Amino acid sequence: MRPAVRMVRKIDYWLRYQSIIPRLYPADTDMHLIRFGPHGDGGYLIPNDLVGISACFSPGVSIISGFEKDCADRGMRVYLADASVDAPSESHHLFEFSKTFIGGYSRENFITLDQWVAKSSEETINDFMMQMDIEGYEYEALSAVSVELMKRFRIIVIEFHGVDNLDRNKVRVFKKLLNTHTCVHIHPNNCCGFVRLFNIEIPRVMEFTFLRKDRIKNSFYRRDFPHPLDSDNTSNPSLPLPACWYHQE
């Protein structure tokens, strides 16, 4: 590739980050953040706004189920899905496991998020929570999810992979989320480091927490990064959230 073409492409990517990052600046709301799951990998910060959430949907099952267990211990029914394992790493009477992947359309071993929720729960009134870690398929799955279902999720926690390669489809996914939800926390996963694009530092893998907009009455910009409850995912060197990802003024 010619140097001029490479530079145009870099500028194109830089402009995408410049357009979307300010919209992702985490908001500090009236609800403080709490941690579900263990310290280290598998734990996430969520707003303490859980009353009325009847179920948590958790696509992507790993060797750690501490987040899901904390949800179940609060009385939520927890639906888990992953075709790569036969069961969650621990059991709970409120766990319901489906051996399937969640994607953007039905195919072998895959169903959509809308199909999974419709098959799993007959609940039509109370809100849901979702915690998604599906190794890059999150963009495909979220591209296909209906707006109606998106609005059922009061709290959404997603580990986004490939944030350092923000193509147009990924930007559309973030914008879709931001139509109904506000980002309230970002935590870089220190598994994979970061890249620098001109003046922007971009962690390759990042955990985002979103809260549905109608739940927010008062908000300011959050600046407490790292949050006292944040914890490194791995034994690699710590990776603080770069300052360009939150409001500075």
DSSP codes of every residue in 119-141 = HH----SSEEEEEE--TTTHHHH
| CA separation for the pair 129, 167 (Å, rounded) | 27
pLDDT of residue 102: 96
Task: Tell me if the domain spanning 3-245 has CATH number 3.40.50.
Answer: yes
**Tens digits of residue pLDDT in 26-56:** 999 989 999 999 999 999 999 999 999 999 9
Residues 85-118: tens digit of each pLDDT: 999 988 999 999 999 999 999 999 999 999 999 9
The mean pLDDT value for 13-38 works out to 94
pTM for this entry: 0.95
How far out from the chain centre does Cα 230 lie?
15
Amino acid at 231: S
Whole-angstrom Cα distance, residue 225 to residue 246?
A: 9
Spell out a b/e string for 90-124, using b for 16 or more CB atoms within 10 Å of the CB, else e: eeeebbebbebbbbbeeeeebbbbbebbeebbeee
Q: What are the pLDDT digits (tens) for 174-208?
A: 999 999 999 999 999 999 999 999 999 999 999 99
The pLDDT score that the predictor gives to residue 8 is 81
End-to-end CA distance of the chain: 39
Alpha helices in 61-160 (DSSP H): 66-73, 113-120, 138-144, 147-152
